[in-house]
Chain A
């Protein structure tokens, strides 16, 4: 079992719809969770971080964390073609103080006009 798992996609949604991206992790005591967006051929950029159970909203983005079920999700409301990218889920285990992150393989999102 991979430490961090995501559906590779591609996930295709129409413009204006809600895109839902999911991620599961195997280390039950992980503490910190991150979503990075990566456009094709570019480097990743941090878009959301979440540390406690529940929802965290930032503009059109909502991160949801459920530690009991070991999953974290990212919702993108009113999806735009400019949201088309690969979204990487990353987890920081509690035992690691070096900031080491474990990344999933990413989910490719395509927003169709």
Chain B
């Protein structure tokens, strides 16, 4: 079955540590995204990538880093520079159609819940 797999589902981090969240998709989608969700809040975009070896900052990129070495994979590193990393992290992908860019119809993974101790 096609889909997006995020791991781990739950992660605990000590202050000062970097952690990496995995996101793998087998949907053959070009574009991938990382969103952050805080309780009672909507989704805020951290980073996105439209093609391999290229990515752009979203609205809240500070303290995060990404890579896109393969079409299927878009890992997110939460660095120690992120002051308030406790949140629900969502990876998503979308198909690129024609010349009008991506559709905006996102498929989400199950999410990774990060807690800083």
Interface, chain A (partner B; CB < 8 A): 4, 8, 32, 34, 36, 42-46, 49, 88, 90, 92, 96-101, 103-106
- Answer yes or no: B90 CB below 8 A from chain A CBs: yes
In this complex, the interface size class of chain B, counting residues with CB under 8 Å from chain A, is 20 to 34
Question: Is the CB–CB distance between B58 and A46 below 8 Å?
Answer: no
CB closest residue in chain A, given B38 = A105
- Answer yes or no: B102 CB below 8 A from chain A CBs: yes
Number of A-B contacts (CB under 8 A): 71
Which of A43, A100, A104 is packed against the most chain B CB atoms within 10 Å? Answer: A43
Within 8 A of A (CB), among B99-117: 100-111
Question: Is the CB–CB distance between A98 and B108 below 8 Å?
Answer: no
Question: Is the CB–CB distance between A99 and B42 below 8 Å?
Answer: no
Residues of A near B40 (CB, < 8 A) are 8, 105-106
